[in-house]
Chains A and B, each alone.
Chain A
Amino acid sequence: MTAAPLDKPMNLDKAHLSHTAVFWTGFCAVMAALIAAPLVLPVFWSGFLTEILIWGLLAMSSDLLIGYTGMVSFGHSAFFGLGMYGAAAALIIVKPANLWLAILFGLGGAAGAALFVAYFSTRLRDIYFAITTLIFSQIFYVIIFTWTAVTGGENGLIFDRPHFTIPFIVNVSFNSRTMHWFVLAVVTGSYLILRRVTQSPFGMVLQSIRENEARTRAIGYPVERYKIVSVMLSGLFAGLAGVLYAVQKEFAAPDFVYFLTSGEAVIYNVLGGIGTLIGPIVGAGFFQLMRQLLSEWFGDQFPYLIPLGIIFVAMIIFLPQGLLGFARRWLNR
Chain B
Amino acid sequence: MGAVGQFFQSIPIDLLIIQTVNGIVTGMILALVASGLTLIFGIMDVVNFAHGELFMLGAYMGVIAFAATGNFWLALALSALIIGIFGAALQIVTLRPLIGRDPLNTILATFGVSLILQNYALWQFGPVARKISEPISAEFTLFYLQYPWYRIAIAALSGAIIGSLYLFLKFSKFGVWIRATTQDRVMAQAMGIPVPLVYTGVFALGAAMAAASGVLFAPFGGVDYSMGLQWVLEAFIVVVVGGMGNLGGSIVAAIFISLLEAYAAVWLDPSQAVIVSFVVLILTLLFRPTGLFATPK
A residues less than 8 Å from B111 (CB atoms): 263, 266
A residues less than 8 Å from B193 (CB atoms): none
B94: contacting residue among A72, A139, A306, A313, CB under 8 A: A313
B residues less than 8 Å from A120 (CB atoms): 285
B113: contacting residue among A126, A145, A303, A309, CB under 8 A: A309
A residues less than 8 Å from B281 (CB atoms): 132, 135
B17 shortest CB reach to chain A, Å: 27
* B105 in the interface (beta carbon within 8 A): yes
A313→B240 CA distance, assembly (Å): 26
* A127 in the interface (beta carbon within 8 A): yes
Q: Count residues of chain A with CB under 8 A from any CB of chain B.
A: 34
Inter-subunit contact B47/A130 (CB<8 Å): yes
With A132-B285, A146-B271 as known contacts, state yes or no: A310 contacts B278, CB within 8 Å.
no
A134→B114 CA distance, assembly (Å): 15
Considering the complex, which residues of chain B in the window 81-139 have a beta carbon less than 8 Å from any beta carbon of chain A?
94, 97-98, 101, 103-105, 107-109, 111-113, 115-116, 118-120, 122-123
Considering the complex, which residues of chain A in the window 140-180 have a beta carbon less than 8 Å from any beta carbon of chain B?
142, 145-146
Determine which residue in A132, A145, A313 has the highest number of CB atoms from chain B within 10 A of its CB, and name it. Answer: A313
Inter-subunit contact A303/B107 (CB<8 Å): no
A249→B158 CA distance, assembly (Å): 48
Inter-subunit contact B272/A146 (CB<8 Å): yes
Determine which residue in A127, A132, A134, A139 has the highest number of CB atoms from chain B within 10 A of its CB, and name it. Answer: A127
Contact bitstring A293-317, B, C-beta under 8 A = 1, else 0:
0000000010101100110110011
A159 shortest CB reach to chain B, Å: 26
A139 shortest CB reach to chain B, Å: 5
With A120-B285, A306-B120 as known contacts, state yes or no: A127 contacts B109, CB within 8 Å.
no
A114→B163 CA distance, assembly (Å): 43
* B177 in the interface (beta carbon within 8 A): no
* A128 in the interface (beta carbon within 8 A): yes
Considering the complex, which residues of chain A in the window 91-144 have a beta carbon less than 8 Å from any beta carbon of chain B?
120, 123-124, 126-128, 130-132, 134-135, 138-139, 142
* A47 in the interface (beta carbon within 8 A): no
B residues less than 8 Å from A263 (CB atoms): 111, 115
* B233 in the interface (beta carbon within 8 A): yes
A residues less than 8 Å from B272 (CB atoms): 142, 146
Q: B interface, by DSSP: helix, strand, loop or mixed?
A: helix
A309→B285 CA distance, assembly (Å): 32
Inter-subunit contact B119/A139 (CB<8 Å): no
With A146-B272, A305-B119 as known contacts, state yes or no: A123 contacts B47, CB within 8 Å.
no
B residues less than 8 Å from A270 (CB atoms): 108
Inter-subunit contact B115/A305 (CB<8 Å): yes
A130→B239 CA distance, assembly (Å): 14
A residues less than 8 Å from B119 (CB atoms): 303, 305-306, 309
A residues less than 8 Å from B233 (CB atoms): 134-135, 138
Cβ-closest chain A residue relative to B101: A320
* B237 in the interface (beta carbon within 8 A): yes
B98: contacting residue among A126, A134, A145, A317, CB under 8 A: A317
A198 shortest CB reach to chain B, Å: 19
A residues less than 8 Å from B236 (CB atoms): 131, 134-135
B47: contacting residue among A70, A127, A146, A317, CB under 8 A: A127
A59 shortest CB reach to chain B, Å: 14
B97: contacting residue among A124, A305, A317, CB under 8 A: A317
Measuring CB to CB, which residues of chain A are less than 8 angstroms from any residue of chain B? Answer: 66, 70, 72, 120, 123-124, 126-128, 130-132, 134-135, 138-139, 142, 145-146, 263, 266-267, 270, 301, 303, 305-306, 309-310, 312-313, 316-317, 320
Besides A72-B107, A313-B116, A317-B97, 6 new A-B residue pairs in contact (Cβ under 8 A), listed by A number: A131-B47, A138-B233, A266-B108, A312-B108, A316-B105, A317-B94
5 contacts between A and B (CB under 8 A): A128-B285, A135-B236, A138-B233, A306-B116, A306-B120
Among all A-B residue pairs, the 5 with the closest Cβ atoms: A309-B116, A303-B123, A313-B112, A305-B119, A303-B119
